[in-house]
Chain A
Amino acid sequence: MIAENEEYILELLGKGVREHDRDRMQYRDIKIQTGTIPHAEGSAMVDIGNTKVLVGVKLDIGTPLKDKPDEGALVTSAELLPLANAEYETGPPSPESIEFARVVDRGIRAAGVVDTDALFIEKDKVWTAYVDIYVLNYDGNLFDAGTLASVSALLSARMPKYEDEKVIREGNLGKLKTGGIVTSCTFAKVGKNILLDPNANEERIMAGRLTIANDESVLRAMQKGESGSFSYKELTELVDATFDNSKRLRDMIKGAVGD
């Protein structure tokens, strides 16, 4: 970021203003589009402001996890593509991308978005659902965009068939069996301000980040990131703010997947 931007943002916050006249607890425009990649069993493109994330879901035959022999598996990965941001580099997954994928994964898993019981085929043979998060353009708040896109892609995914030792991916297929809907709200602490849905400029100067994922009734995952801290009081306020915002996010997903 250009050094002036940092001071500019702090100066704005001093006056209680954010870039593009956003309120502290206001999301940028959110767009969800499903079925972007018809080859994939499920897919979704999510824009939050200029942040653009694509998720593809593929289902393959695999072996169950040792501790869950009667269930299918869920594997979530994230790639911070070099074309998404001048600062992203090629190479093995960075700690940032691993944390990102794991936090999205925990929310999906905890909320039972994928019915893994239904992915069981026979002994030692199950479906594995691969959720691949592709970050196409970075302008902050990947966690919320990644969760929205992953859940939308899963909810709109078709279910391949396994017949005569063959996977059938086309034709008359049903839908992947899913359960709940999880969404997340990510907050950045910049100075004494707490901002919902930080953009890249805000993330670059934030001291701490807090992501809270929930479904209709309960918290499903949380993750604090960066060196900054949050007080207990702030945590409880942000839990409330998350519950306040999440209905709208769930409704957007439902709208996008045609529920």
Chain B
Amino acid sequence: MEGEKPQLMINGKRTDGRMPGDLRPIKIEVGILKNAEGSAYLEWGNNKVLAAVYGPKEAQPKHIADPNRAIIKCRYQMAPFSSLEEHNRSGPNRRAIEISKVTKEVFENVILLDNFPGSEIDVFVEVLQSDGGTRAAGITAAAVAIASSGIPMRDIPYAVSAGKAGEEIILDLNKLEDNYSDADMPVAISPRNGEILLLQMDGSLTKEQCEKAMQLIIKAGETITKVQRAALETRYL
């Protein structure tokens, strides 16, 4: 009902106590799935996400193969039990198909596909528990999984969303904020050159607010990248 919209900012703080530019805690563990060439388990706030990569292997079926480069197949999915609300039917819905597509496009940018003509690389993102920002969490985890596999890549991208609560620009929206915010803008970035690999947005942002959101996202990259690096390096220390 009108007016029941919860207040997202109270005395300058968010409902979970964060400041507008704060990230939720992020933890990544590499290599927990033994069958995959590379895998990563990520906890980002209450999100729990598994990412795995298989390949490169011969593209199947044969007619989808690209003679000049590897193709990427990507599947993002939310487990039926992942939400605090009702049971989600499993299987790809329209939202999942779109997220799979834009996730695939992020990795098409960074993986050296030309090295493996005629082959396919499979990227899987399974959201086990969801609390807002799962596509960003999935991309951040999958980037680490791919890096851990030895599949050559130009950079390790990260993703995070920014949005707007009232007139305040906030970083890394949780589910409640996601539901009631005035804008949501998930972005993936290649930290080496700052190029934007994923950009979606809906809601309401002025040009200045959009720029503020991008700046928060770029700043957050320093922290997220650190967590990704530590997860990868710790296996060899």
Where the two chains meet, the residues of A that have a C-beta atom closer than 8 Å to any C-beta of B are: 66-67, 70, 93, 95-96, 98-99, 101-102, 106-107, 109-110, 117, 210, 217-232, 235-236, 239-240, 243
Contact = CB atoms under 8 A, between A and B. Distances in A.
Nearest to A94: B97
A95 B196 contact: no
Which are the 8 A-B pairs with shortest beta-carbon distances?
Answer: A227-B108, A229-B195, A222-B201, A224-B199, A106-B202, A95-B101, A221-B202, A219-B205
B143 to A, nearest CB: 14
Nearest to A217: B206
Nearest to A207: B109
A110 B202 contact: yes
21 contacts: A70-B1, A95-B97, A96-B101, A98-B94, A98-B101, A101-B94, A218-B206, A218-B209, A219-B204, A219-B205, A220-B204, A222-B200, A223-B102, A224-B197, A228-B109, A229-B109, A229-B190, A230-B195, A230-B196, A231-B194, A236-B207
Nearest to B199: A224
Max chain B Cβ within 10 angstroms of own Cβ: one of A219, A220, A235, A240: A219
Interface in B194-237: 194-207, 209-211, 214, 218
Contacts of A70: 1-2
B98 A99 contact: yes
Contacts of B101: 95-96, 98-99
A22 B194 CA distance: 31
Interface of B: 1-2, 86, 94-95, 97-98, 100-102, 105, 108-109, 179, 183, 185, 190, 194-207, 209-211, 214, 218
Given A110-B202, A232-B218, A235-B196, A225 B102 contact: yes
A235 B198 CA distance: 12
Contacts of B207: 219, 236, 239-240, 243
Given A66-B86, A230-B199, A95 B98 contact: yes
Contacts of A231: 194-196
B201 A221 contact: yes
A210 B201 CA distance: 11
Nearest to A101: B94
Given A95-B98, A224-B196, 12 more contacts: A102-B98, A106-B202, A109-B202, A219-B205, A221-B201, A224-B105, A226-B105, A227-B105, A229-B196, A232-B196, A239-B210, A243-B207
A167 B43 CA distance: 50
A200 B207 CA distance: 29
Contact of A227 (B94, B97, B109, B202): B109
Contacts of B206: 217-219
A225 B204 contact: no
Contact of A222 (B109, B199, B218): B199
Contacts of A102: 94-95, 98
A225 B201 contact: no
A68 B206 CA distance: 26
Contact of A110 (B95, B108, B197, B203): B203
A107 B109 contact: no
A223 B86 contact: no
Contacts of B185: 222
A218 B108 CA distance: 31
A179 to B, nearest CB: 12
B108 A223 contact: no
Contact of A220 (B105, B200, B203): B203
A156 B218 CA distance: 42
